[in-house]
Amino acid sequence: MMSDTLDGLTLGELIQRVATDTDGAIRDRATARIRAKSAQVKAVIDGGVSPAEYQVLSKVHDALETSGHVVMKSWALAKHQREKNGR
């Protein structure tokens, strides 16, 4: 995958970027990347792993899914705040 301005960001830094993302482009790019990584982890799990690997990968998968939800909800909240404040 090509490197872009989202590489190396923590979730907190990403949320800050998403908060100023008026057209949803950063949100869309971030959630697409999160979904792709989540699908990769799920494919590994579905391919068969040891119980110990399953525990770890399952937590990674859950964290990625949660991260995607956090990005979406953060963007929606920021949009609501901008609309409320007339910006």
* 6/87: higher pLDDT: 6
pTM listed for this prediction: 0.81
Q: Say yes or no to pLDDT of 76 above 50.
A: yes
Neighbours of 68 (CB within 10 A): 18
14: CB partners within 8 A, 6+ apart: 6, 26, 30, 71
Split at pLDDT 50, 70, 90, the class of 2 is very low
* pLDDT attached to residue 14: 87
Q: Any idea where the domains of the chain sit in the sequence?
A: 24-84
Q: Say yes or no to pLDDT of 30 above 80.
A: yes
Average pLDDT, the chain: 90
